[in-house]
Each structure stands twice: as structure tokens, then as C-alpha cells.
Amino acid sequence: MPQFLTTTDPDFDAAFAALLTMKREDAPDVDAVVAGIIADVRERGDAAVIELTERFDRLSLTPESMAFSAGEIAAECDKVSPEDRAALELAAARIRAYHERQMPDDQRWTDGAGASLGWRWTPVSAAGLYVPGGLASYPSSVLMNAIPAKVAGVERLVVACPTPGGAVNPLVLLAARLAGVDTVYRIGGAQAIAALAYGTATIRPVDKITGPGNAYVAAAKRRVFGRVGIDMIAGPSEILVIADRDNDPDWIALDLLSQAEHDESAQAILVTDDAGLAQAVVAAVEARLQTLDRRAIAGASWRDFGAVIVTRDLDEAAMLSNRVAPEHLELCVADPEALAEQITHAGAIFLGHWTPEAIGDYVGGPNHVLPTARSARFSSGLSVMDFLKRTTIARMTPEALAAIGPAAERLAKSESLQAHGLSVRARLDRLNREGGQ
Amino acid sequence: MPQFLTTTDPDFDAAFAALLTMKREDAPDVDAVVAGIIADVRERGDAAVIELTERFDRLSLTPESMAFSAGEIAAECDKVSPEDRAALELAAARIRAYHERQMPDDQRWTDGAGASLGWRWTPVSAAGLYVPGGLASYPSSVLMNAIPAKVAGVERLVVACPTPGGAVNPLVLLAARLAGVDTVYRIGGAQAIAALAYGTATIRPVDKITGPGNAYVAAAKRRVFGRVGIDMIAGPSEILVIADRDNDPDWIALDLLSQAEHDESAQAILVTDDAGLAQAVVAAVEARLQTLDRRAIAGASWRDFGAVIVTRDLDEAAMLSNRVAPEHLELCVADPEALAEQITHAGAIFLGHWTPEAIGDYVGGPNHVLPTARSARFSSGLSVMDFLKRTTIARMTPEALAAIGPAAERLAKSESLQAHGLSVRARLDRLNREGGQ
């Protein structure tokens, strides 16, 4: 049974605070191992990557076989059923259409002082996408990472995906091809992150690395951050559903379970102003749990981290949701647009009864890589912006420099940065001499 | 003497590669000390902060005196000369005007399938700005960090600034007041970062921490990352100047020195297609160096990390600059707009002879917090976006779900995520039943 809280309970505040600070993940400390692997790949390059792949993935590679050939990719893609292919193509098209709208504009203007100012966006030159092997090898995540990169204009996009014992998911390769990935490497773990960040004789280094991974991959990404850009370090998935009384408890139960089935550390929370619905959803979850193949995982998540909160009204529900800052937020209420106006912190909002969160995982269009562990308080989901950077632009005319240069000179002096001031003064002196001629 | 390279030299490629990978900073490993300080502040709160401030800053605080009172701030601000105040006000107004243009728009649209999609931007609720004490206590940096936060709509903005022995820079307090900072704490170091991230009885926690600091502050920011958002970890400053023959060598020399004077680890690089100008600038730097108060710092930077590169033409200069991805790039050439089109990686571009980089440090308008150490390959300067986050929005109609739901169901099955598929299927079944009535 999950926690069952009611906001009118005298000890609700303490219980809710405990829910917020609950530790859901006990990440093993693999940092020393990862540091050794990165140092090894930096020193020995391909040879280290090949040895580590042999050891961890039971796979013998040569520099030539590190990447899938075009023929190998085509052969794997041919194994995909027409139905799966059509679904993946629909998803790719919708994700692309959504992310194309995210492309920001360059700006340039001249202000009252005569200064021409602005900024320009340019893409990262090369990006590497990590795709886990095995159970968590999701073709949808390939689309969600690769499409924003290509929309941004990334020239060279590579994937690293371990293939333990040589096993590969054809849908992952098809997703990579649909998204425009240039090269897919059969490597994984910290050694793949090190190779992407520092390069080897065979693998050219990239500028940005994104994508999910296990504790070794996460530790390696933290370590190479600065050398390359990285996306967020994702934690276990979360959903918070705000529901009023007019809901089918079974739908809500399935939405909660669709997060819980990801991971024993996932968290599903129902917040409702109707105690009757709360009870009905709990019963529906129990009933559905019996039928799920992944009931052990989903059941553990629901039992250990699930929560049902009954509030006085929906305003209170929104306020509590903002304190959680959930990764996914469903608003299953009569007027979801009005309630959405009250939401200040959430990774993604799904409005109304006909928008199960699973739609957003695959075909909605928005990205499914979203901030977890309350980080929606200060960060956003993956987007085209993650593969772009902004260069600011300034151009002074002599008149503009005459107007604002003296203030710069004054501030430089106040900060004891003499050459700063002189670089302005030398130009102002020229203007004064020429003005006096 | 700085390095002097010519692209036609047979060993240029190796020398340039060495320049790119040159290690300029030997950051002391203070991580264990910082971990201890953070744990102490988490456990003992105010008491730990007060003890550490006594030890490191020789300053006795009480919970009541941790923050400057309104009266204390007013008294310090009154010490600022009218000229300095006017310069700071001009800078604040120009920085605000520039950053107001960065505010992104919310979007919402309905696509062909009938799905309503979009996103909304919301500000971080509370931000903390670290301001170093002593030599590097720059009022301009207070403006550059605080103004984007206020423009973004951050509700609560606090500053932590150590005041060793009680010494405070009145311009820092005035800059904080001009920028709309709510509270200024007299604390610094890792203990200040810990207090801002985790909160104490007196100091409320924030969601995002920005601003420069020493090795302890940088290590603390890395450690609290995830609990709160942080900005980049800034390295020593850099400038690259591309200049053609028609330049005053003294101006270029001062522009190079205005980076070199920041720090012995700063780097100033001249790239020119004119060997004569290169020689003249080197001579001008030597002459100006004699006159600078900070000649020891600027001289060490120029000698150890400075470089002068003579290229075949300006196209080659732009190509080399893109490999450096400099923090600051000056284009002192006849047609700077055309050359700027070739620039793909740079934190900030300053166009033409009348735009010394120092203008951008103070009054230009763009932010002076910029990516260092080649990170302009994948990241941007500080902006309003650093204090905003995007929530994606999706709303399906029954018709939209009928159109795209089956593809989601199919992909969920291919990823063995049964509840995901069922959450879509339950709704589709209802539609089918109702459609059949």
C-alpha cells in the first residue's frame, strides 16, 4: 500500500515534507572505477575501448568493427515489422514537427546610443548520444535525443550503444537511421563516454554528450563535463496526477502504473480533492497490478514510493504539486487549462482525460527527457536549445563609444582594471583629437 | 615573450594543437574539505556558518547580523561618489534593456491530428548569487548576474558576499540595490554555497546558484548541483583578436592586456594576416606593460599563455578562432560583419575598431559571464534563460488520441512497457464502445 495522506491531518506537513525529501535511489559509488576507465581510454585509446568491451560486453571488436556498417544497419532495419516501422515513423515526424518550432531567432538592433547589439545561435558541431543496451534500450529515447540535435543543425551525430554478446535491438538502429544519426558504435559504459569526450584513433571526439545510462555512464558524464557539454543526469521517473471526482479510476490507475513499471525507484503520486476517487484508484491499482508482466517492479515502486493525497480543493492540489515539481504532471480535471495556470514547476503537463502520459513518451511531440528529482524547480526537458549556443554581438560606432565609453572607463577604475579603462580611453582620445581638428 | 606562430610553418599544426590543449589552471583539490564543510552546514546550520565565517573571514556574526540591514546598505551606498553611481546606473539600465529582449515567448498550437501542443516558461522561484570578497569583488558582476534573474521574474534574489574582517565594497551593495536584490548575506566560501543550497534556520534555501568564486566555491557548486541548479564553472578569462593591417597597434595591445590583467592564467591571442602588425602589437604590449599597475599579473599571463599567430588570410584566421572557441572575440577588420558570418564558436563577438572588449564588461548590454576554456563549443553566456525553465504542454482530444494513440500503444509494446500501452488502450476502448453505440 502506498502512503495515504490527507491535508487536514494535523501531521500532514511533516509527512509531506518527508515525502519531498525521500531518498529513492542508492546510486553505487563507482567514481573511482570510472576515473580509472577514463584515464585508460585517454592513454591507450582504441586498445582500451576494445579490451573493456571484451570484458564488460563479452564482444570482440576491432577498430574496423567498432561502428556498424551501412549494410549491417540496413539488414537489422529490415527485421522491423511494417507496423513497428510505421509507428516509429509517425513518432519521428511528430517529434520533429514539435522541435522545429523551438528554433530560436537571431536578433540584432541598434539602440538609442547608436550601439548595434544582438545575438546569434549556432549549433554544436558534433554530438554523441548514449543509448543503453539490454532492458532499457528504448528506440523512443533515440528519437527524443537525436531529433532535437538534427533540428538544431548538428553536423555530426553519433550513437554509442553497447551490444552485450553482440545482441542488438533492430528498432534502435531504425530509430537512429530515421533520426539522421551518422554513425552507431557498438560500445557502452564509461569507456564509451570517455571515447566520445576525448576521441581515439577511430572515434572522433564530440562536443556534447546526451542520453540516459547506468551509474557508470552517469559518473563518466559528470567527470567529462567541462571537456564536453552534457545533458542532465536523469533520476528515476515520476508522475503526479491531479484528479477531481469525475474520473475513471481505472484510467488514473494505469497512468500511475505506467510510471511505476519503469523502475522500482519510480514514484507515482495521486492528488485529489475527492476521498472517494482516492479509494477507488487505490483499488484499481491493486486490481491492475495483478495483471501486469512487470508487477514486481511496478508493485515495489507503488508500495515504497507511491502516495495518495486528499486535498481540501484543487487550488491546494496545485500548490502541493508545485512543491513536488514533478517530472510528469497530469491534470485530469474538468477545467485543466485553468488549473495549468496555477502550475509553476513541472517538466511536462498533460491536460485532460484524453492525454495519458504515455502519449508524451512516444508520439505526442514534446520531449520525454525531462527533469526528475524535483529539478523542474530550476531546469527544463531536453530541447533544440541543448544543441545550440548563443554568441552575443556588440558593435559600437565612434558616437556610441563617446556616449557610453566614459562610464565603462569609470567602472574599470573602480575595479582597479587599468588596461580595461585605457582600452576605452585610447579610442576616446582619438575621437577628441579628431573632433578638435 | 608570447608564442609567435605562423600558419605556413611546417610545425604549425602541432604547435597550435598544443596551444589548444594547454593547461592554464592548476586548481587545488579542495573537494574533501568542501565535502566536510557542506556536511557541517547541513547538520548544524547557522552555528556552522557562524563558526566558519569566524575562522575564514575573521568576522563574528549572529543569526541577526548575517544579512545587511536596510540601514546598513543605505549607509554604504551613500559612500559611493555621484560619478560612480551614475556609471553604475547607466550600466544597469543598458544591461536590463539588453536582457529584456531575451525573454522567450510561450507557444501553443493545434496540429493536424487535433492535438493541442506547446510550452510555457516560468521563472525559478529563488536564486542566490555568489559575489567574491576582496580583489575580485566586482560590482559589474553583481549587475550581470542579478539583472537577468530579475528580468526573468525570479521572486526572491539573494547575494552571498564574504566581508573579510568586516570590509565591504560599497559599490557591490549599490549594484545589488540597483539590480533589485532582496537580501545580502555577509557570508562566503563553501559554507555560503551550502547554506544557499540546503538552507539554515536563518537562510532560506534557493533553487539556483550563480556567480564566480574561488576553488572552494567552485567545488561546492559542483557538489550541490542537482540539489539546486548552478551556472557554469568559470575558468580564467580569454580574448582572441582577429586584426587586419589597418589597426592602431596600441589599441590592440590594450585590448589584449585588458584580459591579461585579470589573472596570471588569463589568455590573450592575436591572430592577424599581417606580420608587420603582429610585430607592432608585440612591441606595443611591451611598452604598455611597463606602465600598468598590474604589470606583474598581465606580464605573466602574456608571457606564459599569450600567442601571436600570423595567417595566410582572414578566412584562415576565422577557422583557427573557431577551433579555439574563445570567450571574447574581437574582429578588428575592415568588414567585421562579413567575418562574423564565418564564426561558429565564440562566447561574445565585438565588431570593429570602436568596440573594445572592455565595453562589454561594463556597459555594452550583453552579459559578461561567458563560456571559458573552449566551452563556447557547446555552451552560452549567462542570460535570462538561466533563470527560466520550460514546461511542455500536451492536450489530446478523443479524435487526436484515436489518430495517434495506436502508434503509442505499438511502441509501448515493443519496449515491453505494458501499462503504458494499457493506459492508451483503455481510453481507445471507451471511444470504440461509444462510437459503436
Residues in chain B: 437
Partner residue facing A414 (CB), from B84, B119, B353: B84
CA Rg, chain B, in Å?
26
**Annotated catalytic, A353?**
no
Structural domain of B313: 3-25+235-364
Lowest mean pLDDT among A21-25, A234-238, B12-16, B307-311: A21-25
Q: Is A436 exposed, middle or buried (0-12, 13-18, 19+ CB in 10 A)?
A: exposed
pLDDT-based confidence at B28, cuts 50/70/90? confident
On whether A99 is known to bind a ligand per the annotation, the reply is: no
Contact (CB<8Å) A411/B87: yes
Query: Does any domain span residue B12?
Result: yes
Same domain, A179 and A259: no
Question: Angle at the Cα of B278 (from B276 to B283), degrees rounded to 5?
Answer: 95
Same domain, B356 and B252: yes
Query: Does any domain span residue A178?
Result: yes
- Residue A385 neighbours by CB under 8 Å, 6+ apart: A102, A104, A152, B385
Query: Does any domain span residue A380?
Result: no
Same domain, A8 and A151: no
The CA-atom distances, in angstroms, between B78 and each of B71, B131, B137 are 11, 20, 19
pLDDT-based confidence at B434, cuts 50/70/90? confident
Contact B278, B249 (CB under 8 A): no
Contact B45, B194 (CB under 8 A): no
pLDDT-based confidence at B174, cuts 50/70/90? very high
pLDDT tens digits for range B342-353: 999 999 999 999
Strand partners, A372: none
Same domain, B143 and B248: no
Contact (CB<8Å) A355/B401: yes
Same domain, B84 and B20: no
Same domain, B213 and B297: no
Contact B266, B236 (CB under 8 A): yes
Same domain, B62 and B15: no
Predicted pLDDT at B146: 98
Q: What is the 3-state secondary structure (H, E, C) of B376-412?
A: HHCCCCCCHHHHEEEEEEEECCHHHHHHHHHHHHHHH
Contact (CB<8Å) A343/B371: no
Contacts 24+ apart (CB under 8 A), B198-201: B198/B38, B198/B41, B198/B42, B198/B224, B198/B227, B199/B45, B200/B41, B200/B45, B200/B46, B200/B49, B201/B45, B201/B46, B201/B63
The CA-atom distances, in angstroms, between A379 and each of A209, A233, A373, B155, B227 are 17, 11, 11, 16, 11
Same domain, B406 and B344: no
pLDDT-based confidence at B436, cuts 50/70/90? low
pLDDT higher than 90, residue A29? no
Contact A158, A206 (CB under 8 A): yes
Predicted pLDDT at A436: 55
Query: Does any domain span residue A334?
Result: yes
- The alpha-carbon gap from A10 to the nearest alpha carbon of chain B, in Å, equals 23
Q: Determine which helix (DSSP H) or strand (DSSP E) holds B351, and give its type and residue range.
A: strand B348-351
- Position A372, amino acid: T
Contact A136, A213 (CB under 8 A): no
Lowest mean pLDDT among A19-33, A195-209, A382-396, B303-317: A19-33
pLDDT higher than 80, residue B435? no
pLDDT tens digits for range A34-72: 999 999 999 999 999 999 999 999 999 999 999 999 999
Contact A429, A435 (CB under 8 A): no
Same domain, A138 and A251: no
Alpha-carbon distance of B167 to B188, in angstroms, equals 13
- The alpha-carbon gap from A127 to the nearest alpha carbon of chain B, in Å, equals 9
Query: Does any domain span residue A387?
Result: no
Contact (CB<8Å) B415/A124: no
B2 dihedral zone (left: phi>0; alpha: psi -120 to 50; beta): beta
pLDDT tens digits for range B394-411: 999 999 999 999 999 999
DSSP string for A383-418: -GGGGEEEEEEEE--HHHHHHHHHHHHHHHHHTT-H
The number of folded domains in chain B is 3
Chain A residues touching B419 at Cβ < 8 A: 254, 257-258, 260-261, 288, 292, 294, 298
Alpha-carbon distance of B209 to B168, in angstroms, equals 21
Domain of residue A199, CATH code: 3.40.50.1980
A 363-382: CB under 8 A from B? 363-367, 370-371, 373, 375-381
Chain A residues touching B119 at Cβ < 8 A: 366
- The residue written with cell numbers 572522433 in the block is A204
Predicted pLDDT at A71: 97
Last residue of a domain, one of B190, B209, B230: B230
Q: Is A360 helix (H, G, I), strand (E, B) or coil?
A: helix
Strand partners, A128: A158, A209
% of chain B at pLDDT higher than 70: 99
DSSP string for B290-350: HH-TTHHHHHHHHHHH-EEEE-SSHHHHHHHHHHH--SEEEEESS-HHHHHTT--S-SEEE
Alpha-carbon distance of A228 to A386, in angstroms, equals 12
Same domain, B83 and B222: yes
Closest CA to B161 of B134, B143, B124, B179: B134
What is the average per-residue pLDDT within B108-131? 97
Measured in whole angstroms, the distance separating CA B20 from the mean position of its chain's CA atoms is 21
Lowest mean pLDDT among A105-109, A323-327, B180-184, B232-236: B232-236
Query: Does any domain span residue A370?
Result: no
Last residue of a domain, one of A168, A195, A230: A230
Predicted pLDDT at A135: 63
The CA-atom distances, in angstroms, between A166 and each of A61, A158, A169, B80, B230 are 10, 19, 10, 70, 40
Query: Does any domain span residue A93?
Result: no
The interface predicted TM-score of the complex, written ipTM, equals 0.95
Contact (CB<8Å) B140/A411: yes
Alpha-carbon distance of A189 to A131, in angstroms, equals 10
B 71-90: CB under 8 A from A? 83-84, 86-88, 90
Strand partners, B280: none
Contacts 24+ apart (CB under 8 A), A200-203: A200/A41, A200/A45, A200/A46, A200/A49, A201/A45, A201/A46, A201/A63, A202/A45, A202/A46, A202/A63, A202/A66, A202/A67, A203/A46, A203/A49, A203/A66, A203/A158
Would you say the C-alpha torsion B303, B260, B161, B38 has a positive or negative sign? negative
Lowest mean pLDDT among A193-207, B213-227, B337-351: B213-227
Last residue of a domain, one of A364, A384, A417: A364
Backbone angles phi, psi at A109, to 5 degrees: -150, 165
Predicted pLDDT at A321: 98
Alpha-carbon distance of A303 to A297, in angstroms, equals 10
Same domain, A240 and A290: yes
Backbone angles phi, psi at A429, to 5 degrees: -60, -40
Residues in chain A: 437
pLDDT tens digits for range A292-325: 999 999 999 999 999 999 999 999 999 999 999 9
Which grid cell is A27? Answer: 546510486
Closest CA to B125 of A80, A376, A164: A376
Query: Does any domain span residue A384?
Result: no
Give B196's Cβ-side CA count (13 Å radius): 39
Would you say the C-alpha torsion B357, B358, B362, B368 has a positive or negative sign? positive
Chain A residues touching B257 at Cβ < 8 A: 419, 422-423
Same domain, B295 and B280: yes
pLDDT higher than 60, residue B437? no
Query: Which chain B residue has its CA at the smallest distance from A351's CA?
Result: B395
Give A405's Cβ-side CA count (13 Å radius): 26
